[in-house]
Amino acid sequence: DTAVSQTPKYLVTQMGNDKSIKCEQNLGHDTMYWYKQDSKKFLKIMFSYNNKELIINETVPNRFSPKSPDKAHLNLHINSLELGDSAVYFCASSLEAPGGPLHFGNGTRLTVT
Amino acid sequence: QKEVEQNSGPLSVPEGAIASLNCTYSDRVSQSFFWYRQYSGKSPELIMSIYSNGDKEDGRFTAQLNKASQYVSLLIRDSQPSDSATYLCAVRTNSGYALNFGKGTSLLVTP
């Protein structure tokens, strides 16, 4: 059974479009995250939710909007996609801080053309 | 965002040797430290976590933490070609609700 699953695995779209990435975890964790990994492989935190409440919102354009319908799901909606949004987006989860490590999903490779 | 620094490498070691990966961090109050391994095209997977000063061993892996020097390292004994990957150092943030990652060290183990 997949612990943290995200869909789709690949997403190719044109500039200006709106797209969503979905994430679900079955680990019973309280905290979920979105990370962006750029072409230089640097993993950067975007958002963190704890029990459906937004905890961290790093300097991310407001075209990115996370939504957490319940503590097992954290989706990411991106409006008006730009070329610079091309990256791999990872969802992750952890026990409520100061808990243990993050468990990552398999990533979504977003390519904006 | 507080910084986590790693040498990007590549670090090349022969099969059977010890690989030593280093990481420094800037936030003195950090309490939790992690090493992740990431193969190309895959997601990061946890190798080790360490919370107290000293050494922690798990199989061929040893994590070392020195909070006074703000330094954490990972030793891989008897390196295997399958250990070739990027190793990411991660430090829990002040808020406790995220990890800050270094840019990773690329390790190449040659047969």
What is the b/e burial string over A14-41, where b = at least 16 CB atoms within 10 angstroms of the residue's CB?
eeeeebebbbbbeeebbbbbbbbbeeeb
Residue B103 has φ and ψ, to the nearest 5°, of -80, -5
Q: Which residues of A touch B (CB under 8 A)?
A: 31, 33, 40-45, 48, 50, 55-56, 58, 90, 97-98, 100-107
Q: Is the peptide bond before A8 cis (omega within 30 degrees of 0)?
A: yes
State the Rg of chain B over Cα. Answer: 13
Angstroms from A95 CA to nearest CA on chain B: 10
Q: How open is the CA angle B40-B42-B43, to the nearest 5 degrees?
A: 130
Per-residue model confidence (pLDDT) at position A13: 97
Phi-psi region of B41 (alpha: psi -120 to 50; beta: other; left: phi over 0): left
Question: Are A107 and B43 a contacting pair at CB < 8 A?
Answer: yes
Report the alpha-carbon distance of residue A83 to residue B66 in Å, rounded.
41
On whether the CB atoms of residues A107 and A90 are closer than 8 A, the answer is yes
**Which chain A residue shows the shortest CA-CA distance from B3?**
A44
Per-residue model confidence (pLDDT) at position A52: 80
Beta strands in chain B (DSSP E): 4-6, 11-14, 19-25, 33-38, 45-50, 54-58, 61-66, 71-76, 85-92, 99-101, 105-110
On whether the CB atoms of residues A53 and A35 are closer than 8 A, the answer is no
Per-residue model confidence (pLDDT) at position B107: 97
Phi-psi region of B54 (alpha: psi -120 to 50; beta: other; left: phi over 0): left
Cross-strand partners of A104: A92
What are the residue ranges in chain A where pLDDT is below 70?
1-2, 96-99
3-state SS assignment for residue B83: helix
Per-residue model confidence (pLDDT) at position B3: 87
Angstroms from A30 CA to nearest CA on chain B: 11
- β-strands B4-6, B19-25: how paired? antiparallel
Per-residue model confidence (pLDDT) at position B31: 84
What are the residue ranges in chain B where pLDDT is below 50?
none
